[in-house]
């Protein structure tokens, strides 16, 4: 905090609060917020019903409120006063802090300022230690085992949604925590041309391309993989695209090592596809960091000058998309080592035939 000129941070329930305190909350409409100061003071604001599992456990001042929302502003004011943040520069997480809690903070401490603190928390969370990498590796293993079990039952005639439901079942059965990192994508035929497709009631046809993007969660840490399959015989252009995407992925892996800008990994993948004349068909960045969240820093887009460090974990997932026709994406999870990078996933990357008896 000191290095960023902040006197405190205000955290909503989520991965950073879990990382710092081990507490998870089921956040709904009632405000829940934790304050931490550079001097080491802490305070928690929570509904009365969270008292049993926080009183005596949360390391700081505790401010509970009952069912009447009119008491919220007063409780926020007391908490900010207790930790001495009523006139401070306070860091917040831009994708976690909600309008409700921000307005309560602003009302309770009109002279404080609230600033994006993505970097402060990223500093803490991006370099994974060995135990964290092991959780991620297990989340990869669970995802891979679940996919194999799912592929064994995929047949023409099933819908994308049915395949996705089976995959969710298998993820849980193989040991994923129920809170999956994201709902699996199962995109068949032309739907695979949409990088963010959601499973539809489209029925799988013989000869279809099927793209699956899925992940598991173990001890809070996630995995995130993508593979492409074909229900029968692949078309020659699909094999060509898949080989290109594999090459792009290998090129990205080859440059990932400590000291290299994140953008360079993206450019390495992009260059392979551009040189083959497919630049405009690669619609997104090459990857994103992952850990307690499915998407977290570092983000692998061309302009990102952030230098890679040992322990960073991210996806490498180039893809080619042909609207109305189909798409190919191959996604693996890698960890930056002292020398280069290590791929945590083990599944084959090529276009694989499925659905045979």
Whether 232 and 211 have beta carbons less than 8 Å apart is answered as no
Instruction: Quote the CA–CA distance of 172 and 38 in Å, as a whole number.
Output: 40
196 binding a second copy? (CB under 8 A): yes
Q: Which of residues 264-283 bind a second copy (CB under 8 A)?
A: 283
62 sits near a second copy (criterion: CB under 8 A): no
Nearer to a second copy, 39 or 55 (CB): 55
Task: Tell me the β-bridge partners of 9.
Answer: 36, 91
Closer residue to a second copy, CB minimum distance, 23 or 238: 23
Residue showing tokens 């205000």: 10
Restricting to residues 317-356, which ones interact with a second copy according to CB under 8 A? 321, 323
Q: Say whether residue 303 binds a second copy (CB under 8 A).
A: yes
Binding mask 202-231 for a second copy (x = CB under 8 A): ------------------------------
Q: How many residues contact a second copy, by CB under 8 A?
A: 57
CB-count burial class (<10 Å; 0-12, 13-18, 19+) for 73: middle
Is 287 an interacting residue with respect to a second copy (CB under 8 A)? Answer: no
Could you say whether residue 78 binds a second copy (CB under 8 A)? no
- Is 197 a binding residue for a second copy by CB under 8 A? The answer is yes
Q: How far is CA 156 from CA 198, 211, 232, in A?
A: 19, 14, 10
Contacts of 357 (CB under 8 A, 6+ apart): none
Q: Which of residues 13-42 bind a second copy (CB under 8 A)?
A: 24-26, 28-29
- Please pick, from the candidates 195, 234, 261, 298, the single residue that binds a second copy as defined by CB under 8 A: 195
Nearest approach in angstroms of CB 183 to a second copy is 5
Is residue 98 part of the contact set for a second copy (CB under 8 A)? yes
Residues ≥6 apart with Cβ < 8 Å to 279: 270, 273
* Nearest CA among 31, 23, 24 for reference residue 47: 31
Q: According to CB under 8 A, which one of 94, 236, 277, 348 is a site residue for a second copy?
A: 94
**Phi, psi dihedrals of residue 78, rounded to the nearest 5°:** -60, -45
- Candidate list 302, 310, 325, 342; residue touching a second copy; CB under 8 A: 302
Q: In what order do the strands lie in the sheet with 33-37?
A: 61-65, 42-47, 33-37, 8-11, 89-92, 113-116
Q: What is the CA radius of gyration of the chain?
A: 23
Assess 295 for contact with a second copy (CB under 8 A).
yes
Do residues 192 and 326 touch, judged by C-beta distance below 8 A?
yes
Least spacing, CB of residue 100 vs a second copy, in Å: 4
Spatial CB neighbours of 243, under 8 Å, sequence gap ≥ 6: none
Look at residues 255, 186, 271, 270 and name the one whose alpha carbon lies nearest to residue 226.
186
50 makes contact with a second copy (CB under 8 A): yes
Beta-carbon neighbour count of residue 55 at 10 Å?
12
Residue from 102, 203, 250, 276 in contact with a second copy (CB under 8 A): 102
Task: List the interface residues with a second copy, window 155-174 (CB under 8 A).
Answer: 164-165, 168-169, 172-173
**Applying CB under 8 A, which residues contact a second copy?**
24-26, 28-29, 47-50, 52-53, 67-68, 70, 92-100, 102-103, 114, 116, 164-165, 168-169, 172-173, 178-180, 182-184, 193-198, 283-285, 294-296, 299, 301-303, 321, 323
């Amino acid at each position: 905090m000191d290095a960023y000129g902040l006197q405190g941070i205000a955290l909503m329930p989520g991965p950073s609060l879990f990382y710092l305190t081990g507490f998870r909350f089921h956040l709904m409409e009632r405000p829940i917020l934790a304050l931490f100061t550079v001097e080491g003071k802490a305070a928690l604001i929570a509904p009365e019903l969270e008292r049993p599992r926080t009183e005596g456990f949360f390391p700081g001042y505790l401010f509970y409120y009952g069912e009447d929302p009119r008491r919220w502003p007063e409780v926020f004011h007391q908490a900010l006063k207790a930790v001495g943040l009523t006139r401070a520069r306070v860091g917040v997480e831009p994708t976690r802090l909600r309008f409700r809690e921000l307005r309560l903070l602003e009302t309770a401490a009109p002279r404080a300022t609230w600033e994006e603190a993505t970097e402060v928390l990223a500093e803490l969370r991006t370099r994974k230690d060995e135990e964290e990498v092991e959780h991620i590796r297990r989340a990869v293993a669970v995802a891979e085992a679940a996919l194999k079990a799912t592929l064994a039952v995929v047949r023409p005639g099933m819908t994308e949604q049915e395949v996705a439901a089976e995959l969710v079942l298998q993820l849980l059965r193989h040991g994923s925590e129920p809170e999956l990192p994201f709902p699996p994508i199962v995109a068949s035929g032309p739907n695979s041309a949409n990088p963010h497709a959601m499973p539809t009631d489209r029925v799988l046809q013989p000869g279809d391309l099927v793209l699956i993007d899925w992940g598991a969660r173990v001890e809070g840490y996630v995995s995130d993989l993508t593979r492409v399959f074909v229900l029968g015989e692949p078309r020659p252009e699909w094999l060509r695209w898949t080989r290109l995407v594999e090459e792009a992925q290998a090129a990205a892996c080859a440059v990932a090592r400590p000291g290299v800008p994140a953008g360079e990994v993206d450019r390495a993948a992009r260059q392979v596809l551009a040189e083959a004349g497919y630049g405009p068909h690669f619609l997104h960045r090459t990857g994103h960091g992952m850990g307690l969240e499915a998407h977290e820093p570092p983000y692998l887009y061309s302009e990102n000058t952030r230098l890679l460090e040992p322990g960073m974990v991210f996806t490498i997932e180039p893809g080619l998309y042909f609207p109305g026709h189909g798409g190919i994406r191959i996604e693996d999870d890698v960890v930056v080592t002292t020398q280069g990078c290590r791929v945590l996933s083990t599944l084959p990357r090529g276009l694989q035939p499925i659905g045979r008896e």
